[in-house]
Copies of this chain bind each other. A is one copy, B any other.
């Protein structure tokens, strides 16, 4: 079911359910790092240090925290290998890749918006 502008939900509960779902989605993209991490993983598995090198400026603390959140939400799979020293690989789950469309749409709208605002400002 989509937000329906011709027929606003009569019950407040429907409306706040919709808001919750939207915020659930937004929570997965919020913050400075999540999209960059997902973006880095779209092209394949990466180890922790590889990710840290690829996501420009992220600290180990933030990377660790964000990956934990993505893992809890089943968007990222964490695999520990019994190598010496241990290596840990992160990859998008199949479910994680369903975010790609959303990110594409955000990119499309954001690009148009940026052009529009820069045109006015310049």
Choose one: B25, B100, B103; the contact of A110 (CB below 8 Å): B25
Number of interface residues of A (CB under 8 A): 50
Residues 41-74 of A contacting B (Cβ, < 8 Å): 42-43, 56, 73-74
Choose one: B22, B43, B74, B99; the contact of A8 (CB below 8 Å): B43
**Residues A74 and B104 in contact, CB atoms below 8 Å apart:** no
**Residues B106 and A74 in contact, CB atoms below 8 Å apart:** no
**A73 CA / B111 CA spacing, docked (Å):** 13
Within the oligomer, what is the number of copies of this chain? 2
Contacts A/B (CB < 8 Å), 27 sampled: A1-B117, A2-B104, A2-B107, A2-B108, A3-B107, A3-B118, A5-B43, A5-B100, A15-B39, A19-B36, A19-B39, A20-B114, A21-B110, A22-B35, A22-B106, A24-B113, A24-B117, A25-B107, A25-B110, A26-B29, A26-B106, A28-B113, A30-B30, A74-B117, A98-B109, A102-B109, A105-B105
